[in-house]
Amino acid sequence: MIESQRRPEPARPVESSRPFARLVDRHRLLLCVGSGGVGKTTTSAALGVVAARRGRRAAVLTIDPARRLKDSLGIDRLDGEPHRVLLADVAARGGSLDAMLLDAKRTFDALIRRYATSEAAAERVLANRIYDTISTALAGSQEYMAMERLHAIASEERYDVLIVDTPPTHHALDFLEAPERLAALLSSRAAAILQNPSLILSRESSRLAQAALAAVLRGLERFTGFQLLRDVGEFVAGMEGFSSGFQSRANEVALFLRRHDTAFVLVTTPEAARVGETLAFHRELMRAGLPFGGFIVNRVLPAHVVSDSAPDPSRETGADAALARKLALLRARFHALATAERAEIAQLERAAPDAPIVEIPLQADEPTSLRTLALIADALDG
């Protein structure tokens, strides 16, 4: 757990020529973006280790309470409070690293209390059964609250750099645009209809028709024994006063993500499908005018795997010849795979010729400890 009081500002790290060392030196916010299964969580943690090694007060934030992150960082818990990572074995050199979960439900509750017109209004929303589900399940709510919590942590100036492990996505901007979409939903006609289903009828419809629909809905509630529609209506009515506050905060977050000391890092693997998605993410970031920090390519086949010499089957006899043929075939397959990977990485280089690209070699073991995580940090900082 971090100290209750802020520590003195650490010495500024010596400028490095290594691209991702410079990235953690110069930025306050790094967001790791990519599709599922490319190693974003591990990469985010490794960047945190790099930052701590550079003497910075760093924090890794995730919305995925994955056990592998806790294990690799050597911490017992991962929740909404910061937990200190003990880095003595990886030479932190004066920096520090905390890890925490971006708790959507807890943050949503806090926002309700902040923007409510009164304590009673806040309690009505918090006690609503629909809110209990929607606060974590409504599309965009988790991402909105993650960004809200991130903004609050950054405003405290407790850390020099924040590294965010964003959720897997098919579009790079899904995570970033969710706050605006949620705010728009809460002020939309669809929300008004949920509050009063009779609005589904046109304004020209008779009052009698609207009253009949309302009566049918009330009868349905009595017949089923559920008060779902009433709960939904009360929830939406209670949320009406919050939409302007949510929109204001979403605007603040949007500006925060475009600051000069923010950077988006695209994480991928050298497979064709993953690289294709990453190139699409890069185009989205460029169109949105968001600051781009570089590419990290995980699980790249090491060069020595295909450069090592293999026995020549023509010079062997008997069992040795059969083994030599198998080794030669295996080497040819690895060579083809490595060649295909180089072609995919070249696409990234052409898409952003001035951006850094760091390759993380394929590891024999999964990064399930701080020691193995430090090996990835070595590649990022090398």
Neighbours of 207 (CB within 10 A): 9
**Do residue 29 and residue 177 come from a single domain?**
yes
For residues 233 and 364, membership in a common domain is answered with no
Q: Domain check: are 129 and 153 in the same one?
A: no
276 in a structural domain: yes
The residues near 112 (Cβ < 8 Å, ≥ 6 apart) are: 122, 125, 126, 242
Q: Does 161 share its domain with 99? A: yes
Judge contact between 58 and 93, C-beta under 8 A.
Answer: no
Same domain, 146 and 135: no
Give a yes or no: residue 367 inside a domain.
yes
Look at residue 148 and give its three-state secondary structure.
helix
**Is-contact 291 260, C-beta < 8 A?**
yes
Vertex 342 angle, CA 337 and 345, to 5° = 125
- Asked whether residue 320 is assigned to any structural domain, the reply reads no
Do 85 and 40 lie in a common domain? yes
**159 and 281, same domain (yes or no):** yes
Write the CA distances from 227 to 217, 221, 223, 307, 354, integer angstroms.
10, 6, 10, 69, 59
CB 161 within 8 A of CB 51: yes
Q: Are residues 48 and 166 in the same domain?
A: yes
Count the domains in the chain: 2
Q: Which domain holds residue 33?
A: 19-105+141-182+254-308+353-380
Tens digits of pLDDT across the chain (382 residues) = 444 344 445 445 555 558 888 899 999 999 999 988 898 989 999 999 999 999 999 999 987 666 677 878 888 888 888 999 988 766 666 789 999 987 777 777 887 787 777 788 788 778 777 677 666 655 556 676 777 788 888 888 899 999 998 877 776 677 666 656 655 555 554 444 444 444 444 444 555 555 554 565 555 455 444 455 555 555 555 555 566 666 677 777 778 888 899 999 999 999 999 999 999 999 999 998 899 999 999 999 887 666 555 556 666 566 677 777 777 788 888 888 988 999 999 999 999 999 999 999 988 777 778 888 888 888 888 6
The residue from 222, 246, 270 where one domain ends is 246
**CATH number of the CATH domain containing 169:** 3.40.50.300
Please give the Cα distance from 100 to 78 (Å, whole number). Answer: 6
Same structural domain, 41 and 93: yes
- One-letter amino acid of 159: Y
- The confidence score (pLDDT) of residue 113 equals 82
Task: Give the DSSP per-residue string, 63-74.
Answer: S---HHHHHHHT
User: Could you give the 3-state DSSP secondary structure of residue 103?
Assistant: coil
Q: Are 263 and 132 within one domain? A: no
277 and 192 co-located in one domain:
no
Q: What is the pLDDT of residue 292?
A: 95
pLDDT for the residue 191: 44
Inside any domain, residue 176:
yes
**Residue 346 resides in a domain:** no
* Cα 328 from Cα 60, distance rounded (Å): 44
Residue 11 placed within a domain: no
Quote the pLDDT of residue 319. 65
Where among 246, 268, 294 does a domain terminate? 246
Confidence (pTM): 0.75
Q: Given 225, 246, 267, which residue is the final one in a domain?
A: 246
Residue 270 φ/ψ, nearest 5 degrees? -80, 20
Query: Does 174 fall in a domain?
Result: yes
> Quick one: 73 and 211 in the same domain?
no
Six-digit token string for 143: 């991402």
H/E stretch holding 162 reads strand 161-165
Output the pLDDT for position 199. 45
Q: How far apart are CA 178 and CA 185, in angstroms?
A: 10
Residue 223 lies in a domain: yes
